Structure 1
Amino acid sequence: MVKPISLINRFLLLGFLLLLSCATPLPKSAQATFISIDDQAEIHEPSERFVSPFRANLEAEMNKVIGTSSTELNKEGVGETSLGNLITDLQKKHAEETFGYPVHISAMNNGGIRNILPAGDITLGHIYELSPFDNYLFILELNAEKVRQLAEYAVTRKSLGLSGLYVESQGGTLTSYSINGEAAEEGRTYLLAVNDYMASGGDNLAFLIDAPRKEETDIVLRDLLITQIKKKTKKGEKIEASIEGRQKIN
């Protein structure tokens, strides 16, 4: 019987194709057949029987509940969003717990957030959908000038989640900013938690490229979110965040 191919099936098929790509190369052929992998693709029954046990295990794992949210957390907002606030707060907390020193600012590019967190149960699958990329946690050292550049970027691009850095603008121009309520000081070093994509200048953050790296880790954003959400759940806390005025962009 012909059935539509599911998202899990496509995920598993991609995994098998990646495994095959590691095998001994076959001789090149001048002939090729394009196989479309989408919702309209037909399932090959022998392959379906082979994949089925793996799919069942994967679905069971992805459906595990790791937390509960009172409201939907999303990217709605101008610069500041409820989901951006949550991610940057958890990223900052995880960095401080991991390294044992204060992290002044945490930032996340909104474009890297690929889904919402729904009201109610939050599953492992939700986190994988939210953060499908293997982005790694970096800690950068910023001087006062680079903090100002980050603040200017936030109010002009309107595309960052921020924790620890508060910004205000008028007519697209930065009017004030502070780090945890204090003005940036010349000669002082501030620590910024970001992902490696941002640290490497992604999303036009070129001014971060030459910022000294205090930590370059193999901690994946997705994994730290799962860890922190589980910790909150263990303490009986719900996963909550809201737009609270960290970015007053006019």
Structure 2
Amino acid sequence: DVVQAGNYGKYLGYYRVQLKKGKVISSEYKLLKIEDGKSEDIPMKKKADEYINNPAFNKVIAEIPNAAKGNIYLATVMANAYLNECHADLAIQNEGGVRIHELPAGPVTIKKVYELDPFDNSLLIVEMTPDDIKYLIEQSIKMQGDYDLAPAGFTYKIIRNEKGELSDIELDFMKTMPNKSGKFRIAINSYVFFAYLKDRSFTSTETGLYSTQVLINYIRDTRLAEPVKVLIPEESKGKY
């Protein structure tokens, strides 16, 4: 089973499984709301601080000349990192996976990159037709309300009718061409694959790469010297 406790630490996932002779005979899953104002677990905090204050996290990987601001902009940086290192045709990153709003100009530490992307999701290659990509974007709109997926290598536009309902999604692959099967090799993180594409059967290939390390490599190698081009509206109206 795949379980999910939402985001932003609002809930704790509780999963109870009953076994008999090695087989599951019943299961129960529920979300437990984390209440504000509860006292800290001191031993747990001490253990967490050991990781947070690890000297290795303070290593500077690059000096960036300009601040990188905004969730969609930072998601676009991540998508470009995936595109570059996975050698894919296209790439996407969900805005919800961006957990800070700015990388300030100046030194960037490993710790700062983990604040931006604390998940270190595995990166996958999925072969998708244009209709498949539209379906993926439709699922993101259903889940998040608006533009959520930041693309690299292509752009898209959400078209709504007079009632504000989704009527179409326009795709522009620019100069990128599909393979002989009419499919593009698209790099996505494992969260997007399992959360957004769970209702359809898509085959994915593990790259052996992980999102945070790929982002560290990209920032180290490029220093973000050239601004990335955001290919969708930067001020989205989604949940983030």
TM-score, normalised via structure 1 length: 0.62
Q: Who is 2:221 aligned against?
A: 231
- Superposition map of 1:38-187 within 5 A: 58=54, 60-69=55-64, 70-75=66-71, 81-96=72-87, 103-115=88-100, 116-153=102-139, 157-171=146-160, 172-174=166-168, 176-181=170-175, 187=181
* 2:202 alignment counterpart: 211
CA gap 1:181/1:218 in 2 versus in 1, 3 angstroms: closer
Larger % of strand: which? Answer: 2
Contact between 2:177 and 2:184, CA under 8 Å: does it hold in 1?
Answer: no
Aligned pair count?
A: 188
Q: Distance between the aligned counterparts of 1:151 and 1:196, measured in 2?
A: 16
More helix by share: 1
> For structure 1, which runs of at least 5 residues remain unmatched after alignment?
1-34, 76-80, 97-102
Structure 2 residue matching 1:247: 3-state secondary structure: coil
Q: What is the Cα deviation at residue 62 of structure 1? A: 1.8
Q: Distance in 2 between matches of 1:183 and 1:153?
A: 24
1:187 to partner: Cα distance: 4.1
**Does the CA-based 8 Å contact 1:132-1:222 persist in structure 2?**
yes
Distance change (3 Å), C-alpha of 1:167 and 1:184: farther
Question: Matched residues in 2 for 1:230 and 1:147: separation?
Answer: 30
Structure-2-length-normalised TM-score: 0.64
Can you give the 5+ residue segments of structure 2 that lack an aligned partner in the other structure?
A: 1-37, 161-165
